[in-house]
Amino acid sequence: MARLLVGLVLLVVTGCDRPTDESRMVVVDGPKREEALRFSISEGQIVDQYGRLVLLRGINVSGTWKQGPTHLGTQVEPDFRRYASYGFTVIRLLTFWSAVMPERGTIDGAYLDALAQRVEWAQRAGLYLFVDMHQDVYGPGFGFNGAPIWTCDDRYYAMLIEPPVPWFFGYQNPGVLACYDQLWSSQELQAHYLAAWRAVAERLQGYPNVIGADLMNEPYWGTHDPATFERERLQPMYRSVIAALREVRPDWLLFMEPSAVKNVLGRSYLEPDGTPNAVYAPHLYHPAMEIGGAYGTLKPYFSGRINADRGESEKLSAALFIGEWGSYGSQSDYRTYLADMLALYNRSYIGWTYWESGPANSYGLVAPGGTLKPWAESLMEPYPHLLAGREPQFVRDGERYTLEYVAAADLTRPTVIAFPSFRAASLEWLEQLNVERSEIGIHRVSIYHTTPNERVRLVFRLAP
């Protein structure tokens, strides 16, 4: 079992112009796939049709879509190619009930066509995506996003006197609570929500890069007890939405979030219900950092949360995926936070979508003017996107990465490592154990094994 020391150059193709101070952020075409992969859940992991473990990492697009008349922001097709060049493989694409169904029972076909155009941009960039039906503080009637204004009584909207600071204090407004209570008790409103979801699925059903649906962003319980709410209100509605989606796209992964109480108490009350292809998709924040506080000594909190999240996903027989995480980026120790979080995700082999792409959002990767924020590159590192094996261990020590796993019995498909193209101008293998050959592509490296069921060890580093 020879060890190979090989220096390889990763080919990079220029795609489109960037701001001059980002000239080293090379833009590339998306990863070229031989065929559309199909994903499912097996033993608590996302797998493709060849049995490879699938690790998806990417970005939310976009927080800026929450407001404005179109709910589509300012992104254009080259932005999606940029996301791929960062090494990302998936997008959590935001949509809104109020955008899909602005009037009672009326679907906005023009909006769905525009949303489909963004899906096409992602597909041409080689990006998978799942659609998130987003909401915050009920909806635009309270100055936020989500449920259409017609879903609640005007007298409740009148209870909002001024915008809450911080924003999530708006959940305690009596009018907001009343609207949530009305939603969770109304079969008619929930039927409209289901119809909106079905319209989205029908419009996007022809796109193989759409892999699933995030059924509702951070559901809020109103005045209900959170535990009772999740079991008796939220899960029954989830089941209804899932049934409708299955009629259109039976292959979709179902990203199920716990209620927003998870962000406060760190636990969920969802119960196992046998949903196939379920993905447990909590968000991972700390309240102190959400109001601009330092990362400081919070590493044990985040480590404990990931362990708890893993336990909850196993209870649900679901894969674990972190749908949102991040913070303002203004903290002096933010790079340390990012490094620690990536190490935790690597250790637990967890996929994620960072909040969020920007531009001009306090959490976004992109600053006003279109340049990447100074810390953004810290988020972009290589990772095993498709693993033809089992029992993976993936760690980083400085610029040195080590990936170990047991090779699959079927060696017809390679392990694929995703790279941010701007960092992978040169890749140096320090060790390749039980590897037949490596094929270099545009921000992808395919690894072919020599012997089934034997331990594979890959050690590599990226030149600056």
Domain ranges, ordered by start, for the chain: 56-371
The pLDDT-based confidence of 27 (bands split at 50, 70, 90) is very low
pLDDT at 264 (0 to 100): 83
pLDDT at 461 (0 to 100): 86
- Residue of 40, 53, 34 lying closest to 407 (CA atoms): 53
pLDDT at 14 (0 to 100): 26
221 within 8 A of 269, measured Cβ to Cβ: no
The pLDDT-based confidence of 427 (bands split at 50, 70, 90) is confident
More confident residue, 73 or 129: 129
Q: Say what percent of the chain tops pLDDT 90.
A: 75
- Residue of 229, 315, 219, 214 lying closest to 259 (CA atoms): 219
Is the pTM higher than 0.85? Answer: yes
CA atoms of 145 and 361, how far apart (whole Å): 15
Average per-residue pLDDT for the chain: 89
56-371 CATH choice from 3.50.50.60, 3.20.20.80, 3.60.15.10, 3.40.50.300: 3.20.20.80
Write down the residue that tokens 């590159």 correspond to.
377
Question: Of the given ranges (22-26, 157-161, 348-352, 405-409), which has the lowest mean pLDDT?
Answer: 22-26
The pLDDT-based confidence of 371 (bands split at 50, 70, 90) is confident
- Residue of 82, 81, 55 lying closest to 417 (CA atoms): 55
pLDDT at 136 (0 to 100): 97
pLDDT at 29 (0 to 100): 31
pLDDT at 441 (0 to 100): 64
Torsion of CA 253, 355, 382, 414, to 10 degrees: 10
pLDDT at 125 (0 to 100): 95
CA atoms of 278 and 274, how far apart (whole Å): 9
Q: Are strands 57-61 and 351-354 parallel, antiparallel or unpaired?
A: parallel
